[in-house]
Amino acid sequence: MSENIRALVATVSAVFALTLSAGQGFAADIAHGHDCSTASLIALDSDTRAVLYDSTDFAVYRLVLQERGLIDVWTDPGNFSVWDIELLDSSCEAVDGVGPGTSIIMGGYSKITIPSFNIMPKQSVWTLPAGVYYMRLHPDPVLKGGEPFIFHTKFVRHYGHDCASAERVPASGSIDGALLYPQDREVFRVTVNPPARIRAWTTGPLGRWNQPTIDLRLSDCSSASEMEFDDESPTGVVTMPLEVGTYYLAVEPLDRDFLGPFTLHVQLLPDDGR
């Protein structure tokens, strides 16, 4: 499964051409600052060579995300200089819920990995919004005379996982997305005005019968109970008549093995009084 997910990420990244690269086949030597005000800028999808000289040498780097997505930060095996890596927000405060673990996207162990799952589901971090972030590298508490090491960053564009982070989709139009792991979800925001019914369906390489499921969420993000299936698409839906307002379409895998890119299509149908 992990091999399939890594292959899928590589394919999606190529299709969208949404990752940035700091070089091919080499690591950049970038001097580090010691706090957010002196942090050096590094690129996404980069390999950076650094040195922590002793247990007091904290390194801080700055990252800029132009769009929402997923991120992994890791060091090469055998590196004993870095004890931990913190992700900080634009105010230089730690981002709650983010920590180390096995990357569901890359497959290996990462010092920072998003999505980051927590025992309390509400504390899980599914995506990072666009913005400025900092990484603070903590040296080993007994480090003396540290040696050079390389750390890596990987970014994958991804839409929001919940209503609060939903991506706007035209009232009648389409948008490209991707489901990368079994628990994945992408949520899209639709504005209805005047009253109408929403018809929504997906297309893509998964084939007609393996397309993602679509769930309508009301303005408070609760699930709508009344929907019809779309006769023209096995997993498409047609909603009940909706009043003027904001609604959400949550797209999830039909099955844990049916992952990949999709195109969500949305059409507003006149309220026929049913």
Q: Where are the domains of the chain?
A: 8-157, 163-270
pLDDT digits (tens, 9 = 90+) for 33-46: 999 999 999 999 99
Which helix (H) or strand (E) segment holds residue 13: the answer is helix 2-16
Return the CATH number of 8-157, one of 2.60.120.380, 1.10.238.10, 2.40.50.700, 2.60.40.10.
2.60.120.380
Cα dist. 206→38, 200, 215 in Å? 47, 17, 19
Domains 8-157 and 163-270 share a fold: yes
- CATH fold of 163-270: Jelly Rolls (2.60.120)
% of the chain at pLDDT higher than 90: 70
pLDDT for 106 equals: 86
Distance CA 20, CA 93 (A): 25
pLDDT digits (tens, 9 = 90+) for 156-204: 999 999 999 999 998 889 999 999 999 999 999 999 999 999 999 999 9
CB 273 within 8 A of CB 241: yes
pLDDT for 122 equals: 78
pLDDT for 18 equals: 35
Q: Which residues of the chain have pLDDT under 70?
A: 1-28, 225-232, 272-274
pLDDT for 52 equals: 94
pLDDT for 208 equals: 85
Alpha-carbon 130 to chain mean position: 11
Strands 131-139 and 59-65, how do they pair?
antiparallel
